[in-house]
Amino acid sequence: MRGRILFVAGAAAGYVLGARAGRRRYDQIKAAADRVWNDRTVQKTVNDAVGTVQDFVKDKAPEVQEAVVGQAKKVVSKVKKSDDGDTTPSPSI
């Protein structure tokens, strides 16, 4: 509950301050953010991070696939067992 109150208070304060600053200040802030985002150093760091994440995903994909297939097989096995003569209804989720 406290988190919600803080969020609403922050959003309200941001709205009020943003409305008072006006469009010109918004454009100044946006231009400054664009300059930072388009800086070569920032873009190099972003590209390095993307490459690192892609390499991590490539390394972990087979492990994730094995885990998913293993869990799917367990579920199918349980479903088949419950269909083999067990007439009690299964609990719904």
State the pLDDT confidence band at 48, using cuts at 50, 70 and 90.
very high
Model confidence at 69: pLDDT above 80: yes
Model confidence at 18: pLDDT above 80: no
Distance CA 1, CA 8 (A): 11
pLDDT of residue 87: 54
Q: Who has greater pLDDT, 79 or 91?
A: 79
State the pLDDT confidence band at 25, using cuts at 50, 70 and 90.
confident
pTM of the model: 0.47
Distance CA 43, CA 52 (A): 14
